[in-house]
């Protein structure tokens, strides 16, 4: 892929993020939404559904030959296109509905051969935005970002997201051990923990079991373009599996040895 192609796609992705921010932020600030529940007992709002359809309509109008896959409405557009936009309109809905500003719109453009080529994470209530394009680096609010060089767990800052999925895998005890071995452990959750890894503020992030492509495709590219590593718990470099671990790369193998059993 050439630079002109990826730069044009990135500009388009940033435009999508602007559209989403203009739709979601006022609804967050004014608590202007109706709360509902999905079958899996996670929250969903009209803001989630409306933002996703807004972005889908814009993609289908301006990139009519491409596909669009979102958390709320599924696949739209051309199902056979090698190009597919993957979107989570509000990652962190549980915080959104409680007035917690840690939520974001996640946008990724994927290609059947090139995987994730462009990514944007926009968190308007935090006044933060991250983006990346394949082979051209990752940026946080316009500043080039890079992962840390911490190589020992005893010096590491880590983020662990516990959920029942880790209990079912019998690995909650291993997560506790990782926290105990680290210098400092917190639970930032969702997109933010991976973006903090890309910035070098965190050294390791372990996500919840049950993540989907719309949760992690965008942050995967941002971490990788910042020089980090992003895999499932078995060490596979993918955004299509149900687990996700990001790190500066130096701590990755020892975590995989614990969680990949």
Q: What pLDDT, on a 0 to 100 scale, did the predictor assign at position 7? A: 83
Q: Which pLDDT belongs to residue 5?
A: 59
Distance of CA 84 to the CA centre of its chain: 16
pLDDT value, residue 19 = 98
Q: Supply the CATH classification number for the domain 3-136.
A: 3.30.540.10
Supply the pLDDT for residue 35.
Answer: 62
- The enclosing H or E element of 143 equals strand 143-144
Q: Which CATH fold topology does 153-259 show? A: D-Maltodextrin-Binding Protein; domain 2 (3.40.190)
- For residue 1, what pLDDT is reported? 55
CA distances from 55 to 58, 61, 74, 90, 145 (A): 5, 10, 13, 12, 27
* Domain residue extents for the chain: 3-136, 153-259
Mean pLDDT by 10 residues, the chain (261 residues): 72 98 94 62 75 96 96 92 97 91 98 94 98 97 98 98 96 97 95 98 98 97 98 97 98 96 78
- CA 122 from chain centre, in angstroms, equals 10
Could you tell me the pTM of the whole model? 0.94
Q: What is the pLDDT of residue 81?
A: 97
3-136 shares its CATH topology with 153-259: no
- Judge contact between 153 and 145, C-beta under 8 A: no
């Amino acid at each position: 892929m050439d630079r002109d192609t990826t730069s044009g796609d990135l500009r388009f992705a940033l435009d999508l993020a602007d559209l989403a921010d203009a739709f979601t932020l006022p609804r967050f600030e004014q608590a202007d939404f109706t709360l509902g529940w999905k079958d899996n007992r996670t929250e969903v709002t009209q803001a989630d559904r409306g933002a996703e359809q807004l972005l889908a309509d814009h993609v289908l109008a301006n990139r009519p030959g491409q596909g669009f896959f979102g958390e709320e409405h599924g696949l739209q557009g051309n199902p056979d296109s090698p190009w597919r936009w993957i979107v989570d309109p509000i990652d962190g809905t549980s915080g959104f509905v409680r007035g917690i500003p840690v939520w974001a719109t996640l946008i990724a453009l994927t290609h059947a051969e090139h995987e994730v080529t462009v990514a944007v994470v926009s968190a308007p209530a935090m006044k933060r935005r991250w983006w990346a394009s394949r082979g051209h680096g990752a940026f946080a609010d316009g500043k080039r970002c890079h992962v840390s060089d911490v190589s020992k767990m005893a010096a590491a800052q880590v983020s662990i997201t516990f959920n029942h999925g880790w209990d079912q895998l019998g690995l909650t005890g291993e997560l506790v051990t990782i926290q105990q071995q680290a210098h400092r452990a917190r639970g930032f959750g969702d997109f933010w923990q991976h973006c903090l890894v890309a910035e070098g503020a965190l050294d390791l992030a372990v996500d919840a079991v049950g993540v989907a492509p719309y949760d992690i495709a965008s942050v995967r590219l941002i971490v990788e373009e910042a020089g980090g590593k992003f895999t499932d718990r078995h060490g596979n470099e993918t955004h299509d599996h149900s687990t996700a671990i990001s790190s500066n790369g130096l701590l990755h193998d020892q975590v995989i040895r614990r969680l990949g059993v």
